[in-house]
């Protein structure tokens, strides 16, 4: 796997992003009309390979909760879910629902940003210098009606296959965690694979889950009365901008982390905002998952030494959405 990054000039984010975008571009790789990006790598053979990994039938949800106690603090109008009941057991007991022969029921709805908890970033979520995935003009893709080309519904039936956990927090961290601001490089990823063994090899069509330990630390803070703190948007360990070449060369279908923003925060340039997103989504066509919860899975993987599994992580088929909440399920 050729994944040698160019030296990182922290004073020149525009130049570094432009160079990485050119090196790692998949524009036209699957034709001018492509809307799937790296999900093209996850084919029928990869799904058969993933399904064959089920040995014990033990399943793990990799999702955080969706409730009003979540980490969001209102950044760019991202708030925690608001759950409201429209019919309740109280209504049923009092006979005010108007149904015959004693039947009653409960009903509810939820209002929330699609990226307030465990979620996928879709291909219409990030643009690079006015361009969306596959070289389309951003305004021709996403307008006030939503993503008219690469809406998240286009991959609703595809995100299921071989999952691989790279527990970088355990492999190179302290007590299973990496400190905030720790930039995970390609060398760190390869060292984790080496430490974990053959079952954590990464290749074409895989869905890679990177555990940093940041969510573990947030939960400890909550338990000790400090709340979520800056989990949503603040300093965090994450992938280095220099991993763009590794992500591109590996030909993975998607990558997810246990952090709010996937890449290291603060970002690595003097002036920057999510530069790895800017390369990975609109240029590489890579699907990015954020705020996943791999802790229980990671504990099991550490115990039995097996780091690959069947993973299904379908987005809700919300027409025109640029992201989606999910409940990823890993089965070993």
| Spans of all domains in the chain | 13-74+113-331, 79-112
- CA–CA dist 34, 276 (Å, integer): 22
Please tell me the predicted confidence (pLDDT) of residue 331. Answer: 98
Low-confidence ranges of the chain (pLDDT < 70): 1-6
| Cβ atoms of 146 and 298 closer than 8 Å | no
Number of residues written out for the chain: 332
The tens digit of pLDDT for each residue in 294-331 reads: 999 999 999 999 999 999 999 999 999 999 999 999 99
For residue 268, give both structure tokens: 């690595």
Q: pTM for the full model?
A: 0.95
The CATH number fitting domain 13-74+113-331, selected from 3.50.30.50, 3.20.10.10, 3.30.750.80, 1.10.10.60 = 3.50.30.50
The span from the CA of 284 to the CA of 134, in Å, is 8
- The pLDDT value given to residue 48: 97
Residue-level pLDDT at 328: 98
Give a three-class secondary structure readout of 63-75. ECCCCCCCCCCCH
- Residues sharing a CB contact under 8 Å with residue 293, sequence separation 6 or more, in sequence order: 61, 62, 63, 64, 118, 215, 258
């Amino acid at each position: 796997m050729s994944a040698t990054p160019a030296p990182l000039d922290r004073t020149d984010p525009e130049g570094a992003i432009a160079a990485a975008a050119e090196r790692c571009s998949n524009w036209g790789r699957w034709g001018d009309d492509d809307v799937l990006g790296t999900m093209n790598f996850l084919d029928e053979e990869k799904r058969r390979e993933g399904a064959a990994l089920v040995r014990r039938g033990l399943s793990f949800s990799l999702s955080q909760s969706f409730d009003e106690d979540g980490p969001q603090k209102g950044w760019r109008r991202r708030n925690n879910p608001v759950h409201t009941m429209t019919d309740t057991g109280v209504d049923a007991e009092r006979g005010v629902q108007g149904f015959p022969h004693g039947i009653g029921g409960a009903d509810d709805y939820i209002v929330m940003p699609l990226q307030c908890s465990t979620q996928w970033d879709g291909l219409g979520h990030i643009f690079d210098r006015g361009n969306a995935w596959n070289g389309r003009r951003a305004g021709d893709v996403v307008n006030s009606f939503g993503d008219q080309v690469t809406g998240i519904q286009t991959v609703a039936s595809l995100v299921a296959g071989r999952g691989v956990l790279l527990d970088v927090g355990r492999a190179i961290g302290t007590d299973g965690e990496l400190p905030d601001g720790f930039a995970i490089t390609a060398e760190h990823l390869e060292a984790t694979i080496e430490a974990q063994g053959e079952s954590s090899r990464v290749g074409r069509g895989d869905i890679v889950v990177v555990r940093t330990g940041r969510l573990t630390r947030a939960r400890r803070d909550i338990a000790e009365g400090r709340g979520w703190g800056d989990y949503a948007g603040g300093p965090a360990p994450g992938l280095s901008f220099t991993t763009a070449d590794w992500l591109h060369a590996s030909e993975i279908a998607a990558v997810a982390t246990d952090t709010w923003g996937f890449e290291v925060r603060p970002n690595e340039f003097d002036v920057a905002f999510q530069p790895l997103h800017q390369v990975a989504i609109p240029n590489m066509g890579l699907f990015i998952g954020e705020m996943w919860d791999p802790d229980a899975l990671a504990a099991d993987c550490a115990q039995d030494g097996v780091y690959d599994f069947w993973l299904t992580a379908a987005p809700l088929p919300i027409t025109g959405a640029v992201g989606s909440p999910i409940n990823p399920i890993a089965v070993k």
